[in-house]
Structure 1
Amino acid sequence: MAQLLGPAEIRGLAAELDVRPTKKLGQNFVHDPNTVRRIVELSGVRPGDAVLEVGPGLGSLTLGLLDAGARVSAVEIDPVLAARLPATVRERAPEGVLTVLERDALKLRAGELPEPPSTLVANLPYNVAVPVVLHLLAELPSLARALVMVQTEVADRMAAAPGGRIYGVPSVKLAWYGKVRKVAAVPRAVFWPVPNVDSALVEFERGAERAGDREAVFAVIDAAFAQRRKTLRAALAGWAGSAERAGAVVRAAGVDPGTRGEQITINEFAKIAESARLRPSV
């Protein structure tokens, strides 16, 4: 059984490495073993699963995943933390199977991993959480499931449904890949240093592969929310070439051109992109 890290161990490792957590890298280390066990349980990870972890830091969650029998590929951008993690695992989970990659997760490629991961489990830096998840879902079709810890405000946006004020680009683009839901709050006290924002766990389950051009659909989404208070006819004018063509394309997709982007689903955005492909001009 792995020996998980508590507050004393976290501070001891940080002192040993002369690590001063930086806001730039979003470094807030989990020091509560019960929280780690809860995250691993909610992730659904089972013995033998290939798991991708982004931002392992000092290794709190890594040890919990290894304790569950997962084979972990840990991607860490900080060279000092990346270099220390294998030793921490040897000391506390000697039977664990770990690969550490010193990489920027936003630039990670599938071929760099030892095997295709089925699950993403991560305490993500708040400032890049959504771009990282979207990049990994696009790059790693093997990812069937994810459980990520993010800022509560970000979690709400990721899981938002159409029609609400917080429904936007993260909500719609994630919906392209599957289902997202906010599953649990995480108290500030379990981190060191204590963040000045609340955190939450977000669960993702990949759906069936969609037909259509993802980049074309995402271009429609970006255009619609760049001016989210405008109707689709107006907001998509630049994308379509004119407000007239935007209105015709949207109408042909079965959507009211007077609707705003925050009111429609990923399926309707996909229909608009397909309508534009079929209607090169009006």
Structure 2
Amino acid sequence: MNEPPGLLGPADVRRLADELDLRPTKKLGQNFVHDANTVRRIVELAEVGPADVVLEVGPGLGSLTLGLLGSGAQVIAVEVDSVLATRLPVTVRERAPSAFDRLTVLRADALCLRSQDLPRPPTALVANLPYNVAVPVVLHLLAELPSMGHGLVMVQTEVADRMAARPGSRVYGVPSVKLAWYGRARKVSAVGRSVFWPVPNVDSALVEFERRPPPADIDRRGVFEVVDAAFSQRRKTLRAALAAWAGSADRAAELLVSAGIDPRSRGEQLGVEDFAAIAAKV
């Protein structure tokens, strides 16, 4: 079955890869989506349209880029691979010429991106993120780009579970708490391995994010220091885990009690508001 003009199918992805002599690397987490229905579903779930400026990290060969442009949104595509960054505008001009003026391609590492690097403030993040840097990229962009109010990212299923976990969950940890500082993350859909080339050896999922006001009027960095300390020894009670951060176990217990938290608790039992309460007592 032929794909409608604009979207890439399996044959298109392989042709582009051959043209560029591209050999996808695990180091860059390169697994390219070649299923148009998956692209349509991502764009639909992302709820972006003409009013949005979408930041896409790792556009690769352009499968998702074309879908996002098809929504009417402006797209800022950030690509670390210079060959792919150079080819993407050509692909868009060939397959979606009327949308070409809504595309900006930046050759950059998303982990080093600053707000001043962008031509306009993005309203949304939509991306198929490399598995090895997914959480650091999302956290960095949320901190750096306050205009980014919502998003949808495709990540490894285990990463998705950690991003969306709630207190008390077995996989609740540092990514869960830090994301909760910025808003609410929710795992919305599984993605089959067969929609990628090359086929990855892990399952994927879509995580939706909606920014909300911080849970407390306090410096984020101080809260994140408490979070990092609490989970650095997650088998220990907070009294013990926070000893180095607080200066001693007794001082940690004093701060915890002052914040209304049982020193015998463990990090996975606390919500982001609790960590903010602890940080506020310093």
TM-score range with shorter-chain normalisation?
over 0.9
Structure 1 runs of 4+ aligned residues shifted over 6 Å read none
SS of structure 1 residue aligned to 2:98:
coil
The answer for the alignment partner of 1:34 in structure 2 is: 37
- From 143, 146, 157, give the equivalent of 1:141: 146
Which residues of 2 match residues 219-234 of structure 1 at below 5 A?
219-234=225-240
The answer for the alignment partner of 2:25 in structure 1 is: 22
Percentage identity across paired residues of the two chains: 72
Which residues of 2 match residues 190-229 of structure 1 at below 5 A?
190-209=195-214, 210-229=216-235
Tell me the distance in 1 between the aligned counterparts of 2:281 and 2:187: 33
State the one-letter code of the partner of 2:79: E
1:211 deviates by: 1.2
Which residues of 2 match residues 30-179 of structure 1 at below 5 A?
30-96=33-99, 97-179=102-184
Structure 2: tracts of 5 or more residues without a match: none
- From 254, 257, 276, give the equivalent of 1:270: 276
Structure 1: tracts of 5 or more residues without a match: 277-282
Tell me the distance in 1 between the aligned counterparts of 2:22 and 2:256: 53
SS of structure 2 residue aligned to 1:194:
coil
SS of structure 2 residue aligned to 1:57:
coil
TM-score (ref. length: structure 2): 0.97
State the one-letter code of the partner of 2:22: V
Native 8 Å contact 1:2 1:67 kept in 2? no
1:2 deviates by: 5.4
SS of structure 2 residue aligned to 1:95:
helix
Tell me the distance in 2 between the aligned counterparts of 1:27 and 1:148: 15
1:48 deviates by: 3.3
Tell me the distance in 2 between the aligned counterparts of 1:208 and 1:136: 16
Q: Identify which range, 1-10 or 200-209, moves more after superposition.
A: 1-10
Q: CA RMSD in A?
A: 0.8
Tell me the distance in 2 between the aligned counterparts of 1:143 and 1:208: 12
1:64 deviates by: 0.1
TM-score (ref. length: structure 1): 0.97
1:237 aligns with 2:240: no
State the one-letter code of the partner of 2:272: I
1:9 aligns with 2:12: yes
Tell me the distance in 1 between the aligned counterparts of 2:229 and 2:75: 38
Tell me the distance in 1 between the aligned counterparts of 2:96 and 2:10: 18
